[in-house]
Amino acid sequence: MAPSAESGRPIGILFVCLGNICRSPMAEAVFSHIVAARGLASKFHIDSAGTARYHVGERPDGRTIDTCNKHGVAVDHFGQLLVSRHFAEFDYILCMDEDNLRDCKHVKPKGQSRAKHGMFGEYSEDKGDRVVTDPYYGGLKDFELMYERIVRCSEGLLKQLLQVEKTRLEGTGK
């Protein structure tokens, strides 16, 4: 079920991983690229954050940037920490793995939250994509595999949002 929100406000999507230098900034860039290619960029507010402070203020890992650039996807991000205000700012907070989801639940403020939070990989039609594995200690091949998984997840996410957020995406309704 979609979060209740007023029509006309962009749909807020926040991607979350551990350090906010590999998976989540790539998801932010890929999803932004896909929605822009479909003429929907103005309908979304897309960002990413990490559950740990390791890389706050830093650019994404060079391998993330190189992999995205290879596919014509621009990366424009500086690391930030997931904080409680994100649960009021975004409609969807999507985590890359179970540890990120657990950490996300600890940051979530008590009581009502606008954001629906869950696993980004659940939006892929490939059930093997539920966890977006951290490629940090791997090589370029691992970043390429992550890119392919993120594309599948992003396409599935947009497909679902086109259904459940139809009124907001069309700019009609109350």
The residues assigned a catalytic role are 17, 23, 134
Find residue 17's DSSP bridge partners: 50
The three-state DSSP-derived secondary structure of the chain is CCCCCCCCCCEEEEEEECCCCCHHHHHHHHHHHHHHHCCCHHHEEEEEEECCCCCCCCCCCHHHHHHHHHCCCCCCCCCCECCCCHHHHCCEEEECCHHHHHHHHHHCCCCCCCCEEEEHHHHCCCHHHCCCCCCCCCCHHHHHHHHHHHHHHHHHHHHHHHHHCHHHHHCCCC
- CA dist., res. 124 & res. 31, Å (int): 13
